Amino acid sequence: MKIKINPEIFRAYDIRGIYPSTINEETAYLIGRAFVKFLKKPKPNIVVGRDNRLSSPILFKSLIKGITDQGAKVIDIGLSITPMLYFTVAHFKFDGGIQISASHNPPEYNGFKLVREEAIPISEKTGLKEIKKLTSNLNKSGIRTSLFTPKIGQVVRKKVLREYLKFNLKDFNLKVIKPLKIVIDTANAVPGIVAPEFFKKTNCKIYHLFAKLDGSFPNHPPSPHEEKNLRWLKREVLKRKADLGIAFDGDGDRVIFVDEGGKMIPGDLITALLVSLILKENPGQKILCDVRSSNLVRDVVKEAGGIVVIGRIGHSFIKEKMRRENIIFQGELNGHYYLRSHYFCEAPFYVIFKILEEISKSGKTISELVKPYKKYFHSGEINFKVKNKKRILETLENKFRGGKILKIDGLRIDFADWWFNLRPSQTEPVLRLVVEAKTKKLMVKKKKELSSFLIKR
């Protein structure tokens, strides 16, 4: 039997689509077999984790059938956040891993995040094209062809939460952390079974919003980087007079913070705070900044005696560059934070506890800790659907001559008192715009000018 495989599910950083129209049991089975063939190892050990989307159990069943039919051994870690899967692969030295998840996407989506040994991500440029080809070739020969005899690998369950907790908390003295009041919002997603376990080891009072797992995400989408999805968290922080609010995305690899006044804290401010703390303990280290990072982050790195490295956006590019140049830390505007000591992967709980530690030691509120970093006015990321991305970038490069041009990820042009970055999304048919200036008036003016141009396209 042959099926129709939508080639668009193979994206820049992962495999993702809508269940069951573009991602289904048959594609999961083929991807499982193709992944084993891609690894080119005899009987590899492959970790499989999953989020709590409604389609995840059935995709899991088909995926592990494909993996084991190809002769590999599945290490089933059950419901897990994506950083826990990365940890399991790297920490226990397994051959690869697949997380079944569509991250922050709506409930009808699902997909697969793939890594090789040491939790090295597999992207379009480092293997997804080959896996796509292998999947297609397997499909051409028929999913259940009589010429194929399954090799039947094993499936073993492995509990990793305790080790994951221990690994994340090893750098902290929990007795130092004061009995803070914290509101967490896990959006009915899988972080809801992980995050509370961390706070059990503290004296903090936790108020947990939308704790019950429900893969239809009935209260709001699990995408906290969109501020509209934080209104419940903001309200609860004010109601409880909490010290901090923390929102997780659907697979737990990003976190967004709300201060004691119920205001969202931009990711670059959290990055700047973490950079100052990390470089205080690790002077002279390299910090990775992406092209949309605020100039604030670069300023803090230099002031703290660190070394600024500029790179592309996207977790596979970030992790590759961090490994290659031995970079200690990177933070993204949208709430991803990467740490060398966490196998160059996302480290949301390290960031959370570093902040709790600093609040406790300094006696300051989170808003007081980030206030010194409010030096620039940043637009945040704005999406524009356009027809010809390449032509628009070329037009803007000519239109805004005189600035310093950087083209490692779309187009960034820096002027003395403002800059913008416009880059094509690797996951959606849009251009993403970021504008930053030294004054709010100038930022609003330039954002309006660029937006008006892009809307007409």
Residue numbers annotated as active site: 103
Is the bond preceding 107 in cis, omega lying within 30 degrees of 0? no
Handedness of CA 194, 197, 202, 204 (dihedral sign): positive
Using a CB cutoff of 8 Å and minimum separation of 24, what contacts does 124-129 make? Answer: 124/10, 124/11, 124/12, 124/13, 125/316, 126/316, 126/320, 127/38, 128/10, 128/11, 128/12, 128/14, 128/15, 129/10
Q: Name 48's bridge partners.
A: 76, 98
Number of H-type helices and E-type strands within the chain: 14, 22
Name the phi and psi angles at 89, rounded to 5. -60, -50
Question: Tell me, what amino acid is at 270?
Answer: I
The span from the CA of 171 to the CA of 272, in Å, is 20
DSSP H helices, 70-160, are: 82-91, 129-140
**Contact in structure between 244 and 257 (CB atoms under 8 Å):** yes
Name the phi and psi angles at 155, rounded to 5. -125, 120
Q: Which residues contact 175 (CB under 8 A, 6 or more apart)?
A: none
Burial class (CB in 10 A: 0-12, 13-18, 19+), 391: exposed
Smallest CA-to-CA distance from 418 within 438, 401, 400, 404 is with 438
Q: Which residues contact 150 (CB under 8 A, 6 or more apart)?
A: 68, 69, 70
The span from the CA of 163 to the CA of 169, in Å, is 10
| Relative orientation angle of helices 267-281 and 295-303, to the nearest 10 degrees | 10
**Contact in structure between 66 and 28 (CB atoms under 8 Å):** yes
Smallest CA-to-CA distance from 377 within 424, 286, 284, 445 is with 445
Pairing, β 109-116 against β 15-18? antiparallel
